[in-house]
Structure 1
Amino acid sequence: MTDVVVPRAEDFDEIAGLLGLAFHETLDPELLAVERAVFEPERCLLVRDGTTAVAHAGAFSRDLAVPGGSVPAAHVTMVSVVPTHRRRGLLSGLMRRQLREIHDAGREPVAVLWASEGRIYPRFGYGLAAQGLTFRCATTELRLPEPGSAPGTLRLDRPAVHQAELARLYDRVRAGRPGWSSRDEHWWGYVLADVRSRRNGATERRVLLHEGPDGLDGYALYRTTDDWDADGPRGEVRVDEVVTADAGAYLALWRLLLSVDLTRRLSYRGAVDEPLLRLVNEPRRLGGRLTDTLWVRVVDVPAALAARRYATELDVVVEVTDELLPENTGRWRLAGGPAGATCTATTEPAGLACDVRCLGELYLGGTGLGALAAAGRVRELRPGTLAAAGPAFGWHRAPAAMDVF
């Protein structure tokens, strides 16, 4: 007999064991101590078979940057079922209950997650809202432009020493980057924790700081590896994140990262509109591979659509279907633009029709309305609506994902 319970803080180690089994990971006490600091037991659902934990789903309480603003978002995480209890509907039951609880709480209009497999979450209304580029490249043939007349100052240090400075810069930049999640003190501790088991043969993490006339305006977190062959050194620079407030700092950081002594390779997960693609002399050499990052589930249609801004003025009625949260099913009039928006129920004829998953894909501005229509997933009910409304859902920067949670 299986029972769903809200776990206690002291259940963390048991849940970690369940997750380690499901994701084929060996438990590391040092890593568990870091993860325990951000664990929110009151936001978790645990399934027990007798006294044994067999399935789990949780969430973190964080804000998500969206076009023109920021919204509270349930950061869904730690979702797994042990191998002995698969195909019994446990995952479906957890996801359905979690969505209902998020909706009924009325605080978070959207939920967001990283998917271990992309086929799992669309059936629960999650849409692929952001993609990224994974760069794995040889650096010997890559060249960048020369810096300008005021390149600023670079220096290296240990990240934890500069946590407060990094946090201020991150918050400043996050305001304009849809897809970036908020980081409180606990999350900064998690991000900067340098757990040995996660180094994978690399050095401890370092922070490269760029200081301009007004102080810190860029940083990069990275590691390096020591590797040699018969031809000499072939170490790798593993870049975790790059955050900059202006183009000069970005260029200066990357000039160093691509030319670290005794290294010949670099890896980095960046955005689909990563400026590095426009700076290097041969972008093909970056070896960018497209991957999925953030999946968004619109939990409260009117609240979510009114919370973001739109690139151009629009006034459109959308007919939405949502099998799991019927409160979202209906016709919604979305009106607004760069200054703000409203979304209200209406009986007016609809110009577009789609399911709630499509709204998730559109939400961060990274998916084109026309692309969804071309795939047959958005229907144009009134001629001309696609062309009129399509540009509004875009944004001047592609959504990006900084944290894996």
Structure 2
Amino acid sequence: MVSDEYVLRTGTPEDFEPIHRLLTTVFHDDPDEGVIDLYRAVFEPARAVVAYHGDILAGSASAYTRDLAVPGAVVPSAHVTGVGVEPTHRRHGLLNRMMGHLLADARRLGEPVAHLWASEGKIYQRYGYGLAACRLMLNADREVQLREPPHDSGRLRSAVPADVVADLRKVYDQALPGRPGWSSRHDRLWHRITADPKSWRHGGTAMRAVLHETAGGIDGYALWRGRNREDDGPGTVDVREVVAADPAGYRALWHFLLNMDLTRRTQFTFAAIDEPLLYLVNEPTALGARLEDALWLRLVDVPAALAARRYPVPVDVVLRTEDPLLPENSGNWHLIGGPDRASCTRTDRPADLDFELGALGAVYLGGTPLGTLAAGGRLRELTPGTLVGVDAAFRWHRAPAATEIF
């Protein structure tokens, strides 16, 4: 792919260090030699696109090959990451071409969807991404307590995260299929997630794990670190992740995290909008919850994506959408689905609902009401009475959540 000034091509292993330098510039950071190998270990050269201006790397965009939990299924999804254009090379159309390359590659690889974390949502809405999952940022003070102490036959055990990866992975993999928005993790990713270089601590302690154990084995864990206040007063518990297979373990882990000695606050930046903790504490407002956007999702192959997920109630509807970047997605699609199976095929039948492509991405994980998007003009009901039933079919009993920034 050649323009007058820029050459776009697929990445190679030798492109890693120029990409790393570019991204530290774009995201206003300094290169950190202590962590570069952690990023190199998960870099996939064949999933990167680079734009060179002579010998200068002007832009890059990458993806990870991972699976994504969606309502009733786990599907391949392009985990788009590392997108940036060197500041002096902006306004040359590089982002448009790189995003087109990534989407075409995802479709070629059989990934029905792509998703990302957006530094600026306004950028990615131009490419058909919709806001599919939000997160709560919790900043709880010590007044917050569980309404009832946990009644639990299990016990808690402290550990170094890197020493118990097998236990963490077992619990996470068991929970993954039931939580839309969570991503699969291979060995190299677990190594990076449990790595703990000092530059990532930002003044906190080493990362720690607490495991919940019953007679049947480990069924829950939390990753956390402590953080002292600058005046040496009571500190903060900084929670990275909480995963539990059952309510007893979940309550026991949170009782531990909310009652740490010599601390007065507990922070958690990856809480789900339906986090059970909201309904277990004595004073929900003292959790200090703040809503932020999390996952933005785009359908790469509309019929394959809609057929891959499940629907809690039967649905039989014709949807219409337009996709300027991937014209194969444009048209009318007949979706038939239910709890056990689904199909989606092109049809000449008139559409019942007309979706913007980004709106279809927003509802895909089951957390965004169709009525909300209709009220905002992002979809139109063409057959009166269709919206309510289809909304019920696209919803899911758990809200989509995000556990990590990739």
Partner of 1:82: 86
Distance 2:394 2:318 in 1: 14
Contact map agreement 1:244 1:250 (CA 8 A) in 2: yes
Percent identical among aligned pairs is 52
Q: Secondary structure at the match of 1:78?
A: strand
Partner of 1:346: 347
Distance 1:4 1:214 in 2: 53
Q: C-alpha displacement at 1:146, in angstroms?
A: 3.4
Contact map agreement 2:150 2:251 (CA 8 A) in 1: no
Distance 2:251 2:151 in 1: 13
Q: Secondary structure at the match of 2:321?
A: strand
Q: C-alpha displacement at 1:147, in angstroms?
A: 3.8
* More divergent stretch after superposition (169-178 vs 7-16): 7-16
Distance 1:180 1:192 in 2: 17
Partner of 2:117: 114
Partner of 1:282: 283
Partner of 1:173: 175
Q: Tell me the amino acid that sits aligned with residue 111 of structure 1.
A: A
* Among 27, 32, 37, the residue aligned to 1:33: 37
1:56 and 2:57 are equivalent in the alignment: no
Q: Tell me the amino acid that sits aligned with residue 367 of structure 1.
A: T
Q: Secondary structure at the match of 2:102?
A: helix
Q: Tell me the TM-score normalised to structure 1 length.
A: 0.97
Partner of 2:135: 132
User: What number of residue pairs does the alignment pair up?
Assistant: 401
Q: Secondary structure at the match of 1:233?
A: coil
Partner of 1:145: 147
Distance 1:106 1:316 in 2: 28
Q: Tell me the amino acid that sits aligned with residue 126 of structure 1.
A: Y
Partner of 1:390: 391
Contact map agreement 2:312 2:339 (CA 8 A) in 1: yes
Q: Which runs of 5+ in 1 are unaligned?
A: none
Q: C-alpha displacement at 1:388, in angstroms?
A: 1.6
* Among 191, 204, 221, the residue aligned to 1:189: 191
Q: Tell me the amino acid that sits aligned with residue 237 of structure 1.
A: V
Distance 1:134 1:213 in 2: 34
Partner of 2:233: 233
Q: C-alpha displacement at 1:212, in angstroms?
A: 1.8
Q: C-alpha displacement at 1:355, in angstroms?
A: 2.0
- Deviation per CA, 1:82-138: give whole Å up to 9, x if none: 1111122111111122212222x1410000100001111010000110001001122
Partner of 2:160: 158
Q: Secondary structure at the match of 1:296?
A: strand
Give the root-mean-square deviation of aligned CA atoms: 1.1
Partner of 1:43: 47
Q: Tell me the amino acid that sits aligned with residue 349 of structure 1.
A: P
Distance 2:140 2:28 in 1: 28
- Deviation per CA, 1:248-275: give whole Å up to 9, x if none: 1011011110111111111102000001
From the superposition, tell whether residues 319 and 307 of structure 1 become closer, same or farther in structure 2 (CA, over 3 Å).
same
Contact map agreement 1:237 1:266 (CA 8 A) in 2: yes
Contact map agreement 2:366 2:394 (CA 8 A) in 1: yes
Q: Which runs of 5+ in 2 are unaligned?
A: none
From the superposition, tell whether residues 264 and 177 of structure 1 become closer, same or farther in structure 2 (CA, over 3 Å).
same
Q: Tell me the amino acid that sits aligned with residue 140 of structure 2.
A: C
Q: Secondary structure at the match of 1:123?
A: helix
Q: Tell me the amino acid that sits aligned with residue 184 of structure 1.
A: H
- Deviation per CA, 1:51-97: give whole Å up to 9, x if none: 01110000000000000010000000000011111122111111122
Q: C-alpha displacement at 1:228, in angstroms?
A: 6.2
Contact map agreement 1:65 1:71 (CA 8 A) in 2: yes
Q: Secondary structure at the match of 1:339?
A: coil
Distance 2:40 2:229 in 1: 34
Q: C-alpha displacement at 1:7, in angstroms?
A: 2.2
Contact map agreement 1:271 1:401 (CA 8 A) in 2: yes
Partner of 1:221: 223
Distance 2:252 2:394 in 1: 33
Contact map agreement 1:151 1:249 (CA 8 A) in 2: no
Partner of 1:310: 311
Distance 1:149 1:398 in 2: 26
Q: Tell me the amino acid that sits aligned with residue 57 of structure 1.
A: A
Distance 1:156 1:288 in 2: 27
* More divergent stretch after superposition (173-182 vs 82-91): 82-91
- Deviation per CA, 1:215-256: give whole Å up to 9, x if none: 111100000012364xx7320110000000011101101111
Contact map agreement 1:236 1:263 (CA 8 A) in 2: yes
Contact map agreement 2:311 2:393 (CA 8 A) in 1: yes
